[in-house]
Structure 1
Amino acid sequence: MSNSDSQRCYAYIYHNGNRLLLSQSIEENGGYYEAASNTILLTLTVGDRVWIQTGASTFCYGYPNTAFSGWKL
């Protein structure tokens, strides 16, 4: 099996236009993806923007198995 982009699902976390974090899931034989998780702690100020964006993947697995959480401390 090769590890081409078509067998990976990338998700990046951005803060004010800067890419800070990458989570990556790789397809294994049979079409199942390994689990991927990550955590980042940011100090935010009024007007800051934070978002998640998929990467150069051809596709990400079709089931709604992705979650994003945030907390205000």
Structure 2
Amino acid sequence: MERTFRCPECGAEFPTQGAMEEHVSREHMGPSTDNAPAEQARKCPSCSMEFPTTESLEEHERTHRSGIVTN
């Protein structure tokens, strides 16, 4: 079984983490600016992964509670 990487926003699957991160950046994040406020990223208190929306962070946090964490 091949490992896939799932988009935390829409659930799309990708063959590599890099492809998934590129998708998230392109499809789910606004234009990047060097002076964007740091608080735009939501950080998981359990593993420090960052998410573009509160909803995606909350979905991720459920994986910690269920014991199914895939990084």
Structure 2 length normalisation: TM-score? 0.26
Structure number, greater radius of gyration: 1
Higher relative contact order by CA 8 Å / sep ≥ 6: 1 or 2? 1
